[in-house]
Amino acid sequence: MHFHRRPSWHIPEREVTPERVFLDRRAVLAGLGFAGVAAASGLGVARPAAARPAGEAWTPAPPLDPAYADAGRAITPEAVSGSYNNFYEFGTHKGIADAAQKLPSDPWTLQIEGHAARAGEIGLEDLLAKMPVQERVYRHRCVEAWSMVVPWIGFPLAELVKWAEPTSAAKYVRFETLSDEKTMPGIRQSWYPWPYVEGVTIEEALNPLPFMVTGAYGKVLPKQFGAPIRLHLPWKYGFKSAKSVIRISFVEEQPMGFWQELQGSEYGFWANVNPEFSHPRWSQAQERVLGTGDEAPTVIWNGYGEEVAGLYKDMDLSKRGLWF
């Protein structure tokens, strides 16, 4: 049994308390019929008591998974990772954090579709109540050759898959991002194949590593990271980790991803990290570690081979297609 010190990004209890008081007060107001009063007086309707506004402290703090407490590298400061984002729905540059604050992330409903006994609609709060919410520190490697380390909050995708009870017809899991023309200016760039879609095999989805992320740095997921729920696949290039997921489908056919559809000669379905297979336009041997100015050698499977290499044991590792 390992014991870990509370990591530094955890918010001290004394700073969390006012938020707790606020949440309690909100619950009390809802109980008193505040929503009705507010609507009648034209003040707007109160939020459901269960809502989690992006960026607020995640309370109570979830347990830190001892297997993923330390990513072997320093955690990227939130000021860095939270202001250098890829989220094309809000723009093609890295500075989309302000624009992303318009994302309507709360409340949120997920559609579960396809070959699964539990196909249907579920509210994020209802889903979270069924899932083992925990914290994991993961490395992230973007195909553009930069990397970061983030303490995520979330639950294993495998738990969601098991809960959904897919049938044997389900060979792949497809993820679809919200496409909201009102709040996402990037959607108007009609040459991109919206909505943003990604997918994994059902075997990959059942591996313990894929994480459904709902928080970061001790907080409800800030919007620019893909609030309120995004995927994180730490052994694959970052573009596989779809943000702001609204639809999870259990399908027979291999899903066509956003980047694969846009530029199939450069991006494919597998996109497993491997320093030896270059992108057609740049090397993948090294990575720029965000926030440090350091270059570091890239590691096959982004260093998660112990967990995931077995998934590909029957595949030809010399084929470029497994890596791009």
Ligand X SMILES: Nc1nc2c(c(=O)[nH]1)N[C@H]1C(S)=C(S)[C@@H](COP(=O)(O)O)O[C@H]1N2
Asked if 87 touches Mo ion (CB under 5 A), the answer is: no
Pick what 85 binds: Mo ion, ligand X, none; C-beta below 5 to 8 Å, kind-dependent: ligand X
- Regarding beta strands 172-177 and 197-201, do their DSSP bridges make them parallel or antiparallel, or are they unpaired? antiparallel
Q: How far is the CB of 39 from ligand X (least distance, A)?
A: 33
Query: Please, which residue, 68 or 239, has the CB nearer to Mo ion?
Result: 239
Asked if 142 touches ligand X (CB under 6 A), the answer is: yes
Asked if 243 touches ligand X (CB under 6 A), the answer is: yes
Query: Please, which residue, 88 or 269, has the CB nearer to ligand X?
Result: 88
Residues 88-127 that bind ligand X (CB under 6 A): 88-89
Q: Return the closest-CA partner of residue 304 out of 134, 147, 173, 197.
A: 147
> How many CB atoms are located within 10 Å of the residue 98 CB?
11
List 172, 225, 235, 269, residue binding ligand X (CB under 6 A): 225
Query: Please, which residue, 89 or 106, has the CB nearer to ligand X?
Result: 89
Pick what 235 binds: Mo ion, ligand X, none; C-beta below 5 to 8 Å, kind-dependent: none
| Cα angle value 198/136/170 (rounded, 5°) | 35
Asked if 196 touches ligand X (CB under 6 A), the answer is: yes
Which amino acid, residue 258?
F
List 154, 166, 218, 238, residue binding ligand X (CB under 6 A): 238
Strands, DSSP E only, in 157-306? 172-177, 197-201, 211-216, 219-220, 230-232, 245-251, 286-289, 294-297
Show binding-site residues. 85, 88-89, 142, 177, 230, 241-243
CA contacts within 13 A on the Cβ side of 63 = 7
> Interface with ligand X by CB under 6 A: which residues?
81, 85-89, 142, 177, 196, 225-226, 238-239, 241-244
